[in-house]
Amino acid sequence: MTEHKLKAALQTLGHTRALKDGAVKPQGYTLEFEEVPAIIQAFRRMARGLEFEVSEMAITTYLCARAHGKAFTALPIFLVRGFHHGAILHNTALGIRNPKDLEGKKVGVNRGYTVTTGVWARSVLQHEHGVDLDKITWVLSGDEHVAEFQPPSNVVSIEKGKTLEQLLTAGEIAACIGVQVEHPDVAPLIPDAAEHGLRLLQQNGHYPINHLLVVKDEVLRAHPELPARLFEAFVAAKQPYLEQLRAGSIAAPTKPDRMYQRVLEITGKDPLPYGVEANRPMLEALIGYAVEQHIISGPCAVEELFVPGTAALTG
């Protein structure tokens, strides 16, 4: 049987390692991985130049890319999850007593307005704390992966030569999403953020999705069997990792490993579920947030995001 080679970008994680080292392969295909210094560079290269045939991608980058007609489509393979309550830091010297006090002020966002952590973090501000996002000026340190995206009028770029970290510590912005700052005047906006996210998981299933997998449309047309083969391979690749999580046998667990372990303990279920139905509530929520935050112009059905026929896949 002829094996088709596909150029791919995928970070090495516990549940993708078997794919990266070749222990698991999609039937009939070889994924030729290009290692990028940071996986976000692959998102940008895919969104702007279609440089990969199979690529990991931030989910809101995908929503934005889809809205602008980019020639790739997602599979319901969700590669990274996370909780974002802890992503918001604020300057404690500015008298911010609660998130609502951010209205009328400037808040930084690391990289672009459409970055996924920013979308989930702003949803926390809006839906848990009643913040009117349109009353905040969002200050960006970079531009968007999808070059065609036009941000709303309350989004501005950082002054040349400055960093968000500098602005936050100087009090020139009240808060910032997605940066790490060690300074006596800087603290998390939401106390006990990590445990708060896990409590929401336990209470109502809140479990944000960060990254998924996309495939070039021309490859999908040429290989209609590929989506199922990829899905099967990704499901197979995560099984050894799930066994390690269940056994508590990961030798040097990373921060994501520890989070997935906690999710497993809380839910008793696979902390990395693939497929549409297991993820429908979070997908519907994210579509709604993307509309509210002016990233896409209107809602769509969850099934429209994925390669036709893959919505029924589970794993």
Write out pLDDT tens, residues 127-177.
Answer: 999 999 999 999 999 999 999 999 999 999 999 999 999 999 999 999 999
Identify the burial level of 137 via C-beta atoms within 10 angstroms of its C-beta, where 0-12 means exposed, 13-18 middle and 19 or more buried: middle
Q: How far apart are CA 90 and CA 171, in angstroms?
A: 9
| Residues forming CATH 3.40.190.10 domain(s) in the chain | 4-82+207-305, 85-203
Q: Which fold has domain 4-82+207-305?
A: D-Maltodextrin-Binding Protein; domain 2 (3.40.190)
Whether pLDDT at 2 is above 90: no
Under the banding of pLDDT at 50, 70 and 90, the label for residue 201 is very high
Helix and strand totals (H; E) in the chain: 10, 11
Going from the C-alpha of 68 to that of each of 150, 216, 297, the distances in angstroms are 11, 15, 11
Determine which of 192-206, 227-241, 282-296 has the lowest per-residue pLDDT on average.
Answer: 192-206
Is 229's pLDDT higher than 90?
yes
Closest by CA position to 30, among listed 230, 217, 313: 230
Beta bridge mates, 79: none
What pLDDT does residue 194 have? Answer: 87
Which stretches of 107-192 are DSSP H helices?
Answer: 116-129, 164-170
For tokens 């020139």, name the residue: 172
Backbone angles phi, psi at 187, to 5 degrees: -150, 160
* DSSP label of 98: S
Q: Does the model's pTM come out above 0.85?
A: yes
Sign of the CA dihedral running 32, 35, 36, 41 = positive
Residue 292: predicted pLDDT = 98
Beta-carbon contacts of 59 under 8 Å, excluding residues fewer than 6 positions away, are: 78, 116, 209, 210, 211, 212, 286
Q: Read off the pLDDT band of 21 (50, 70, 90).
A: very high
Task: Give me the chain's average pLDDT, please.
Answer: 96
With left for phi above 0 and alpha for psi between -120 and 50, is residue 102 left, alpha or beta? alpha
β-strand partners of 75: 213
User: How buried is residue 287: exposed, middle or buried, by Cβ count under 10 Å (0-12/13-18/19+)?
Assistant: buried
**Architecture label for domain 85-203:** 3-Layer(aba) Sandwich (3.40)
- Quickly state the pLDDT bin for 8 (edges 50, 70, 90): very high
Span 74-116, pLDDT tens digits: 999 999 999 999 999 999 999 999 999 999 999 999 999 999 9
90: nearest Cα among 171, 154, 145: 171
Q: How far is CA 107 from CA 124, 173, 174, 180, in A?
A: 14, 6, 6, 15
CA distances from 5 to 38, 77, 219, 242, 250 (A): 23, 20, 11, 28, 32
DSSP string, 282-301: HHHHHHHHHHHTTSSSS---
Determine what percent of the chain is predicted with pLDDT higher than 90.
Answer: 97
Helix (H, G, I), strand (E, B) or coil at 6: strand
Residue 1 has pLDDT above 70, yes or no: no
